[in-house]
Amino acid sequence: MRTISHPFIVSAVIILLSSCGNHGNSGKLASVGFLAPAAENTAVNAIEQAKPEIMIIPSDNLLQSYGVLSTITVGSSEYIKRDYQKYLLADKNSKAAFSVIQDEFSRLGYPLTDLEMTLKSLANREATDAADGMEKDAKTILLQKASPDIVIELDYDFSMDNTDANLTKQLSYTLTALDAYTNKSICSKTISDVSGRDFKEMLTASLKKNIKPFIDGIKTYFADMVTNGREITVRFSVEKGAKINLGSECATGGTYSDWIIDYMDLNTRKGTYKLQNNTDYELFFTNVRIPVLREDGTQFSAYHWARQCGSAIKNDCGIKVSNKVQGLGDVEIVIRGF
């Protein structure tokens, strides 16, 4: 390894991506140059090296325009049903649209997960899947399978200009980048009134001209994530019928709530979290920051965090727990008793 003459030592390691089909897929590696501990707070190093994995999907508005988005009721709850397979078959421009956007990111060295290939690997699963007592829609299943860092939603309109005798067409589109773990918006870019005749040529030329600020927004966001941690939510709950509650005394001397708060202090990035709900049967935390990478440069996910926490509480407090990770960034640890 080449040594850099600088107070901070950075190993420029390119980490390759792999994928598998369950919670374990979060062991996949992000394309991030490994940051030595002393350099983790160096924004310049993070910005220069961080490249999140990208996945491009159609927006809900685009799905609705093709009649493949609906609302279903399960029990007393409503869920959005998205049929991505039908959309890809219905929209003749979809393959070209995703290909053009992916090519632009690939040209800049960003790792990508392809929507169509991921859907093929999920061909034997239902779009709405009952798992662990919670309904999961197609988007949740899709993201769990692909485990991207950033989702880019595409919305577009491509139509004939009826005022032009030369049959010119008009393209307007919006790209919206979302944190795949929190669904928070990162940045958005809207381009209107692109004129031409060929969809792919129009989109390609427009992206090359206009995409840089959008990519810069993603790059800065992910660099902050590498430096300050990935954001997740964490919920500790007590299983119905368990003969303990979070106010009960733990084997360590304090209450289970005390143990959990101490664990959060020590095992979140710079102690960053917000306690939203605190009862004898639930502790719910938002804005929980966990490391993006382990010390060896491999990715550290919400699932990994929950597994470590579950093991710690079993070992320290002598109780049984279940790891109920829902989605990419929603941790639930259920305390089941002795």
Does 290 score more than 80 pLDDT?
A: yes
The three-state (H, E, C) secondary structure of the chain, written as one string: CCCCCCCCCECCCCCCCCCCCCHHHHHCCCEECCECHHHCCCHHHHHHHEECCEEEEECHHHHHHCCCEEEEEECCEEEEEECHHHHHHHCCCHHHHHHHHHHHHHHCCCCEECHHHHHHHCCCCCCCEEECCEEECHHHHHHHHHCCCEEEEEEEEEEECCCCCCCCEEEEEEEEEEECCCCCEEEEEEEEEEEECCHHHHHHHHHHHHCHHHHHHHHHHHHHHHHHCEEEEEEEEECCCCCCCCCCECCCCCEHHHHHHHHHHHHCHHHCCEEEEECCCEEEEEEEEECCECCCCCECCHHHHHHHHHHHHHHHHCCEEEECCECCCEEEEEEEEC
- Residues 199 and 112 placed together within one structural domain of the fold: yes
pLDDT category at 165 given cuts 50, 70, 90 is low
Q: Give a yes or no: residue 243 inside a domain.
A: yes
149: containing domain: 52-226
Q: Give a yes or no: residue 284 inside a domain.
A: yes
Q: What is the pTM of this model?
A: 0.76
Number of folded domains in the chain?
2
Q: Give a yes or no: residue 262 inside a domain.
A: yes
pLDDT category at 325 given cuts 50, 70, 90 is confident
pLDDT in tens, 42-51: 444 444 455 8
Q: Give a yes or no: residue 27 inside a domain.
A: no
Q: What is the CATH number of the domain that holds 142?
A: 3.40.50.10610
* Confidence (pLDDT) at 63: 95
- Residues 186 and 103 placed together within one structural domain of the fold: yes
* Confidence (pLDDT) at 22: 39
* Confidence (pLDDT) at 141: 82
pLDDT in tens, 96-118: 999 999 999 998 889 999 998 88
Does 169 score more than 60 pLDDT?
A: yes
- Residues 161 and 246 placed together within one structural domain of the fold: no
Does 80 score more than 60 pLDDT?
A: yes
- Residues 134 and 218 placed together within one structural domain of the fold: yes
